[in-house]
Structure 1
Amino acid sequence: MTARGALRLLGGAAVVLWGAFTVSFAILYLLPSDPVSIMLSQSAESLDPAQVQALRERHGLDRPLPEQYLTQLGNALTGDLGTSVTTGAPVTDLLAEALPHTAALAGLALLLAVLAGTGIAVLASWTRARWLRAALLALPPVGVAVPGFWVGLVLLQLFSFTWYVFPAVGQDGFASLVLPAVTLAVPLSATIAQVLARGLDEAWRAPYADTAFGAGASRNRVLGAHVLRNGSLPTVTLIGVLTGNLLGGTVVVETVFSRQGLGRLAEQAVTTQDIPVVQGLVLTGALVFVVAGLLADLAHPLLDPRLRGRRAAPAPRAVPA
């Protein structure tokens, strides 16, 4: 990657993070209520207007919106995401406490999704049995259509309440990760299988596959050396996008399985309109999205040698008359 390409990627990442911060700030501050009002409405104690005003001043909610925006943006650039309005804890501490739980869940879910989606697509592409191919290609649409919370409830009923294989709730050890990860992996694996199957079908019809067959290569050799490598390029980009979207899926899954993590933290922060926490979560999600996209861009040259060391074509030199 050239220096210009690296600067372009970093500039794009900065724009994405700034845009995520700005949009979240605008949406949250356009809501009809504010965190202090919500917090006081849930409290049994009644405060006089002077105390309410003091709370708003302490959290900077009495300042003009442009000043609040610039102050919070400047603090975010230095790594200070503020303090939670409802708990008073630093947002970075809340994120650091919840992130490992969600990272473990999302990592296992992504691994299962890649293995299952790749297995379905490769087997459907490789087999010559029409009935098996049709059955395999019918699975991804079902996986995409089924709601995630329904999958989680069915898994709970079967593997926790009927067969007692995995714990129903909590986060005690690897066993408690299995059902939430499978629930999160089902729609991801279906999407991966759909895109990869389409890419493999196009790769089988490409001229390089015919050339390899003409040179005497076996079907397995063509699949492993040519079809899978070239047909998986769109899927690599898709996996980067899905990785960035995993945070949204963990909200439902962590709620169904009563797990602590970024998803549950997001649910609580949105319910109480805890603006600093919500913005910290939005920035975290945007950062994950940017890093995943960057890794996908870096993986493309490994799969397609034509992308390695690509340079812009030099400008033609003038030919003297």
Structure 2
Amino acid sequence: MSRYVLRRLAQAVGVLWAAYTLSFFILVLLPGDPVSATAGAGLDSAPVDPARLEALRAEYGFDQPVPVQYAEHLGRALTGDLGDSVATGHPVTEMILDALPQTLLLTLSALALAVVFGGGLALAATYSSRRGVRQFLLSLPPLGVSVPTFWIGLMLVQFFSFRNAWFPAFGNDGLRGLILPAITLAVPTGAQIALVLAKSLSTTLDEPYIETARAKGAGRVHVHLRHALRNASLPALTVAGLLVGALMANAVVVETVFSRNGLGRVTQAAVSAQDIPVVQGVVVYGALVFVVVNLLVDLVYPVLDPRIVLAGPATPGAPRTVTA
């Protein structure tokens, strides 16, 4: 068990390093000058003193060769220092930590709703003995996946806020202000979970041990929930862990739609100002949340299926199972 955990931790560190490296070189090599954009160069305002621009570039290290910038920034990042914002001068870590709780609350709430909605839909679809009901329920997940997230948010605001005033349309107004953004994020995620779980349940229900359980007199509910769901949930659990990254990315859009204070607003302002340290910091923290959640998912596998061998996965990140 300890070797498995250490290996997964090493893989998590590798993912974080790759996310940091790729984001650094992509952002640094993009056209544009964050110092000039922040100082107002190129706008209709008064021209900025070139000497002041050079001093600012030297202060933030933008006058150094790219490999030197990377080495210096990586060394500071290893100590938890992601630099200072070019636009505000505030520490990037402090800015992100101030905004992160609201985004994490939204993301985890949406993930919980997605698991409940997606799992319930898959169970209802595979449990129903009526073909028409089953086909209707199975047609809902593809629809949920195809609908754009921002459109769902706009429709929810239009109906539940502007037309009926049941929930606030904007801001971080406690639980009431969290419901609509969480549902907006949960719909496409829950649809993907429902697709995977319904397919897995349908396959599992045809396994010989399910027929054996039925032959011993087990009821449909008992077979469905006790025998089939436990084994069929592994692929859905994997998908749920992988979707955390997509949830973090979509949270930026949803927070913009609902004017919530979180990483979405920080990212939007940083992108507009070409604030490279802040954008990179958001990427790194998003990758950190992603690897932590997926590590927890991997550790849950043996609980759901004791046949999983922790000694050596056949492929990186995929626990190996033995034949029962």
- The normalised TM-score by structure 2 is 0.93
The amino acid across from 2:229 in the alignment is L
Aligned residues of 2:141 and 2:195 also touching (Cα < 8 A)? yes
Percent of residue pairs bearing the same amino acid type: 54
Specify the code of the residue in structure 2 equivalent to 1:263. G
Partner of 1:159: 160
**Alignment partner, residue 195 of structure 1:** 196
Q: Which runs of 4+ in 1 moved over 4 A?
A: 309-312
**Residues 98, 260 of structure 1: 8 Å contact kept:** yes
Distance 1:310 1:170 in 2: 45
Q: Contact 1:24/1:282 (CA < 8 Å) preserved in 2?
A: yes
> Could you say which residue in structure 1 is the equivalent of 2:59?
58
Aligned to 1:232, the other structure's residue is in SS state helix
What residue number does 1:179 align with?
A: 180
Q: Which amino acid aligns with 1:254?
A: E
Deviation at 1:4, TM superposition (A): 2.4
**Cα distance between partner residues in 2 of 1:181 and 1:134:** 27
How far has the Cα of 1:47 moved from its partner? 2.1
**Residue aligned with 2:85, SS:** coil
Map 1:224-263 → 2, pairs under 5 A: 224-263=225-264
Match of 1:24 in 2: 23
Contact 1:236 1:299 survives alignment (8 Å): no
Using the TM superposition, give the Cα deviation of residue 256 of structure 1 relative to its aligned residue in structure 2, in angstroms.
Answer: 0.7
Residues 200-231 of structure 1: CA deviation (Å, up to 9, x unaligned): 00110111101111222111111122100001
Contact 1:40 1:46 in 2 (8 A): no
Aligned 8 A contact 1:36 1:55 in 2? yes
Look up the match of 2:8.
9
**Aligned-partner residue type, residue 15 of structure 1:** G
The letter of the residue matching 2:239 is L
Query: Is residue 79 of structure 1 aligned with residue 67 of structure 2?
Result: no
- Which residue matches 1:88? 89
- Aligned AA for 1:7? L
Q: What is the DSSP-based 3-state SS (H/G/I as helix, E as strand, rest coil) of the residue aligned with 2:307? A: helix
**Counterpart of 2:94 in structure 1: which amino acid?**
D
Q: Would the aligned equivalents of 1:196 and 1:232 in 2 still touch at CA under 8 Å?
A: yes
TM-superposition CA deviations, 1:26-83 (whole Å, max 9, x none):
1111111121021123773532111110011111111111111000000000000110
Give the conservation status (yes or no) of the 8 Å contact 1:247–1:262. no
The CA distance in 1 between the partners of 2:140 and 2:49, in whole Å, is 60
After TM superposition, give the deviation of residue 311 of structure 1 in Å. 4.3
Which residue type is aligned with residue 89 of structure 1?
H
Partner of 1:120: 121
- The 2-side partners of 1:4 and 1:166 are apart by 49
Distance 1:130 1:47 in 2: 71
Q: Which residue of 2 aligns with 1:315?
A: none
Displacement of 1:195 in angstroms is 0.5
1: distance between equivalents of 2:9 and 2:182? 32
Matches of 1:6 and 1:227, distance apart in 2? 28
Amino acid across the alignment from 1:58: E
Q: Is the 8 A contact 1:81 1:91 kept in 2?
A: yes
Looking at structure 2, the residues matched to 244 and 299 of structure 1 have their Cα atoms a distance apart, in angstroms, of: 19
CA contact (8 A) 1:244 1:292 kept: no
Q: Post-superposition shift, 1:244? A: 2.5
Q: Which runs of 5+ in 2 are unaligned?
A: 313-324
**Residue 140 of structure 2: aligned partner:** 139
- Report the secondary structure of 1:305's partner residue: coil
Contact 2:3 2:311 in 1 (8 A): no
Q: Matched residue of 2:47: which SS?
A: coil
2:174 alignment partner, SS class = coil
Q: What root-mean-square deviation, in Å, do the aligned CA atoms of Structure 1 and Structure 2 show? A: 1.3
Is the 1:170–1:258 contact (alpha carbons within 8 Å) kept by the matching residues of 2?
A: yes
